[in-house]
A and B are shown apart, each in its own frame.
Chain A
Amino acid sequence: MKIVVCIKQVPDTKGGVKFNPDGTLDRAAMLAIMNPDDKAGLEAALRIKDETGAEVTVLTMGLPKADDVLREALAMGADNAILVTDRVLGGADTWATSTTIAGALRNIDYDLIITGRQAIDGDTAQVGPQIAEHLGLPVISYAEELRIEGDSVVVKRQYEDRYHELKAKMPCLVTALSELNVPRYMTPGGIFDAYDKEVTVWGRADLKDVDDSNLGLKGSPTKIAKASDKVRKGAGEKVNLDPTESVAYLIGKFKEKHVI
């Protein structure tokens, strides 16, 4: 069985988001990490590998420094890594990105493609399903559980108040939630091996069946008017009361604020 996991290097938003004066993300000022949902997707693939001996390939599109997340994936246990990088692919929105990744995926064999639900820098959740659309594959998004049954995958798909259990015959694409699992750590030896391995690097010329008009900034229909960080809330008020008193206190506050 062959699994491809699409991963993305994203700025770590834990310490807040930093912007350039022109409103774009100041990626250089923020630590680069593997997108959490993608990491859960990789862990899911590695667990299938542990059980069945599946071959796991990781693929990313990005700047040459995205090599770091591929090495990290190799150090966690992935078998192969592909970096899709080319100046003409820069500035891509979700449409151009999914077109590019689908163009790369047409070169390789797979039974299952796993992507993260969404990246913490864009939060669109569009790229995974778009890739499936480009490749004509069934897609199950928002996976909080995933297992293999014969030639199919069975996925517990999360909703706000319920879940659906869906079964799809492979090949198919699944988008993973970070709640899917707790990803393993790398091992020190895995890291040393990862840097001895070859990462396959592909450019525009290696993409199959894609049109230039759908690539890079020029091929991106999305226009971003403005981006901003979340507005920070105040520290709030802390009170130390027993349960009965705190209920009374809260009710009082709600009344005061005309909530009730």
Chain B
Amino acid sequence: MDFTLDKKHEMARNLFKEFAETEVKPLAQEVDETEVFPRETVTKMQKYGFMGIPVPKEYGGQGCDPLTYVMCVEELSKVCGTTGVIVSAHTSLCVDPIMTYGTEEQKQKYVRALATGEKLGAFALTEPGAGTDAQGAQTKAVLDGDEWVLNGSKCFITNGKEADVYIVIAITSITEDKRGRKKKNFSAFIVDKGAPGFSFGTKEKKMGIRGSSTYELIFEDCRIPKDNLLGPEGKGFPIAMHTLDGGRIGIAAQALGIAEGALERAIAYTKERKQFGRSIAQQQNTQFKLADMATRVEAAQLLVYKAAMAKATQKVYSVEAAKAKLFAAETAMAVTTEVVQLFGGYGYIREYDVERMMRDAKITEIYEGTSEVQRMVISGALLK
């Protein structure tokens, strides 16, 4: 077992780091303050292939592996959680399911445009009455001749309105089990922005990742071609769950990046900040806190990288992804909270990055499966 990165991954990390420092960091505060989607940054990331890192070259991607993609989200999130999640939602939740379940025609039509960054992707599962319990979903799709007709709404959709392509999960039938209980059967669909009957509702005002565009999607007799069914009819739920397994690795990387970014700032700040005639880094309290945070961050990184490697080599990686996301998200929250404390009053001021990082960290414990859901996945596998 070797825990060192090989040269090409090391060089890829340097690339992401340099890009993040030069192109993303200077805009992070403004993006948070104004809640404006960083389109300019997305265009630059498109130019350099960041929107299709794990996608094979024949579909317009970079032909790299999940680990490289994870390092990209990690480095971007070190300086800006918003930018990290834009890449993560696009890659893990939209490009990946089409690559995994799409027909050759769907891959040629959609993956190519998404991987080159010409189009941006999003994923829509959550509904007002259906979060962790997907069975509460109401959005339906009915086949009418050569078209599917979608009705219902989705909420909290990352990259909403900004994205061009949406993976939408909708009920296509309801069956009864032996005991007469009704079960909703879902299917996955690819919906283009601009499809008749597809519109956007309210933009959410959020605590963190404020530049990420989070919208409600509304489907009113929305008609899409029959061929836009993704994967087999009735398999939407397993498709969504498998997609989220990948997504969780992306969010784990985002959380990891936020924690690392906060820790880096704490190291720099505590060396500079003087109290009682010496830097606070010379106080043992600070030193022990930094040591604990660094240990925890590295443990999170190992879990995240392990999950990324599992995605590259295994068919099923739900548990690895759940552990990585659970630990990285809780690390991000704990580390950013501690770093704000180390910064004292300055940590509470919006001018300093760590205040934003603490707000950005919270969502990683909630979206793409709450920490409680991750515990369900992990314990479920243990007690199987």
User: A-side interface residues toward B, CB under 8 Å?
Assistant: 68, 71-72, 75, 184-195
CB-nearest residue of chain B relative to A33? Answer: B14
In contact, A192 and B48 (Cβ under 8 angstroms): no
Query: Which residues of chain B are near A195, meaning CB under 8 Å?
Result: 7-8
B1-20 CB mask vs A (1 if < 8 Å, else 0) is 00000011001100100110
B8 touching A191 by the CB < 8 A rule?
yes
Task: Check A189 against B11 for contact (C-beta < 8 Å).
Answer: no
| Interchain nearest-CB distance for B53 vs A (Å) | 5
Whether the pair A188, B7 counts as a contact (CB closer than 8 A) is no
A185-B11 in contact (CB<8A): no
Q: Which residues of chain B have C-beta atoms less than 8 A from A186's C-beta?
A: 11, 15, 48
Judge whether A189 and B57 touch: CB under 8 Å. yes
Q: Is B217 close to A, CB under 8 A? A: no
Chain A residues near B19 (CB-CB < 8 A)? 185
**Interface-located stretch among B25-33, B58-66, B150-158:** B58-66
Known contacts A185-B18, A189-B49, A189-B57; decide if A75 and B62 are in contact (CB<8 Å): no
Q: Which residues of B contact A (CB under 8 A)?
A: 7-8, 11-12, 15, 18-19, 48-50, 53, 57, 61-64, 68, 72
Contact B64 A185 (CB under 8 A): no
Residue among A72, A185, A194 with the most chain B CB within 10 A?
A: A185
Q: Provide 23 A-B residue pairs closer than 8 Å at the C-beta atoms, listed in order of the A residue.
A: A68-B11, A185-B18, A185-B19, A186-B11, A186-B48, A187-B49, A187-B62, A188-B15, A188-B48, A188-B49, A188-B53, A188-B62, A188-B68, A188-B72, A189-B57, A189-B63, A189-B64, A191-B11, A191-B12, A192-B68, A193-B63, A194-B8, A195-B8
| Other A-B pairs, 11, CB within 8 Å; known A75-B11, A186-B11, A187-B62 | A75-B15, A185-B15, A185-B18, A186-B48, A188-B48, A188-B49, A188-B50, A188-B72, A189-B61, A189-B62, A192-B8
On whether the beta carbons of B18 and A188 are closer than 8 Å, the reply is no
Residues of B within 8 A of A192 (CB): 8, 12, 62-64, 68
Give the nearest-CB partner of A186 in chain B.
B15
Q: Which residues of A contact B61 (CB under 8 A)?
A: 189
On chain B, the residues within 8 Å of A72 by CB distance are: 11
Given contacts A185-B48, A188-B53, A188-B68, contact A71 B11 (CB under 8 A): yes
* A186 to B13 alpha-carbon distance, docked (Å): 11
Residues of B near A68 (CB, < 8 A) are 7, 11
Neighbouring B residues of A185 by C-beta, 8 Å: 15, 18-19, 48
- Output the least CB separation between B264 and chain A (Å): 15
Q: What CA separation (Å) do A75 and B19 show in the bound complex? A: 15
A191 touches B15 (CB 8 A): yes
10 smallest A-B Cβ distances: which pairs? A189-B62, A187-B49, A195-B8, A188-B62, A188-B64, A191-B11, A185-B48, A186-B15, A188-B53, A189-B63
